[in-house]
Amino acid sequence: MKEKEARVDYLDHQLVLYVEKKDGSYGPLRTGSYITKNYLDDYWLKRRNLEKEYLGKVTGGEISPIAYYMVLEELTPSELAARVKIPERKVRKHLAPATFGSVTVDELRRYCEVFSVPLSSMLHALVIKGKNVSIREAKTNNPYFTMMKIEAGKK
């Protein structure tokens, strides 16, 4: 890639590319990310729509919370089974809301480790309205207990 083609004016996400300079030599060029500049907003919009759609499916009783997080993490049932260390047939069983109740607490904890969410997030959803509120759940050293922190945002 030539130096002229690699230049992207985007300060929020900088990277280093090795490009062909004007004199024919190769060297590093600090530039902005083309993909971030042109496609990141589209990605976040699609991600929000996917979250909203699948949250509706969970609350509507179509899928289990495990299926919701599996879709958001872009995992297949076989990948999830390997990470949770249970048979794939069991994971497929846990994806349905009718059989979600058969999940043991230990299995649920392992699912949460894979999804990097607190255990309590598998049993409830937090919907935030308003722009000046920050709510987050923080893990503690006890895997069965979390802290929810609610803070007023900066104006």
For the chain, domains (ranges, CATH) are 3-32 (no CATH), 40-125 (1.10.260)
122-152 pLDDT tens trace: 888 777 776 777 777 777 776 667 788 887 7
Lowest mean pLDDT across 3-7, 10-14, 112-116, 141-145: 141-145
10 Å CB burial of residue 71 (0-12, 13-18, 19+) is middle
- Write the pLDDT tens digit of every residue in 70-112: 999 999 999 999 999 999 999 999 999 999 999 999 999 999 9
